[in-house]
């Protein structure tokens, strides 16, 4: 089943997000990603189950950001803090999408979802945008701070990848 999504992603001097996925924590995290990437993001997902909303949001965002990656450097990396948490992300365009991470939230319920919300979103983003994406948690224990650091790191790496490399 394909969940209805509306998405627009543009390069911006300052990142901003207007996100309505039906999963408030994901709305916040995509906002963190957009600000770190310096992207203007509008993302709306029609109501379904939390798992379907997360998957549709990741797919929709990945499809939209894929076009920006084609016109940019196509690769980026970052190390970003969020309070006591520190995460890194490295990515590049790839014909064989791959998402790799050392973070596992599968044993925690977030927004009524029994799956790892962050990994599901990032895996769908990776596949839709044709990325090789590696996310590593370097430090941190508070789940909110860990998620924020992860999404900010992915955002900063995407921001690099979507912009042309300086001459």
Fold (CATH) for 5-162: Ribosomal Protein S5; domain 2 (3.30.230)
What pTM did the predictor assign?
A: 0.93
Residue 88 and residue 136: Cα distance in Å, rounded? 5
Tens of pLDDT along the chain (167 residues)?
465 678 999 999 999 999 999 889 999 999 999 999 999 999 999 888 888 899 999 999 999 999 999 999 999 999 999 999 999 999 999 999 999 999 987 776 555 555 588 899 999 999 999 999 999 999 999 988 999 999 999 999 999 999 998 76
Residue 52 and residue 56: Cα distance in Å, rounded? 6
Residue 102 and residue 32: Cα distance in Å, rounded? 20
- So what's the pLDDT on residue 105? 77
Tell me, what DSSP letter sits at residue 12? -
Residue 28 and residue 17: Cα distance in Å, rounded? 9
**Secondary-structure breakdown of the chain: helix, strand, coil percentages, each rounded to the nearest 5:** 40, 30, 30
Rounded to the nearest 10°, the torsion over CA 50, 114, 94, 31 is: 50
């Amino acid at each position: 089943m394909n969940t209805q999504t509306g998405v627009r992603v543009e390069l911006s001097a300052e990142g901003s997000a207007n996100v309505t996925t039906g999963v408030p924590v994901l709305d916040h995290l995509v906002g963190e990603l957009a600000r770190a990437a310096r992207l203007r993001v509008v993302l709306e997902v029609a109501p379904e189950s939390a798992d379907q909303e997360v998957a549709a949001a990741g797919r929709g965002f990945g499809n939209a950001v894929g076009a920006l990656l084609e016109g940019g450097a196509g690769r980026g990396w970052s190390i970003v803090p969020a309070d006591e948490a520190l995460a890194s992300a490295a990515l590049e365009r790839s014909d064989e999408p791959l998402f790799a991470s050392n973070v596992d939230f599968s044993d925690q319920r977030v927004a009524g979802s029994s799956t790892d919300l962050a990994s599901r979103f990032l895996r769908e983003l990776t596949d839709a945008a044709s990325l090789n994406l590696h996310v590593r948690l370097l430090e941190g224990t508070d789940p909110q701070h860990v998620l924020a650091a992860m999404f900010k790191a992915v955002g900063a790496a995407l921001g690099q990848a979507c912009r042309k490399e300086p001459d």
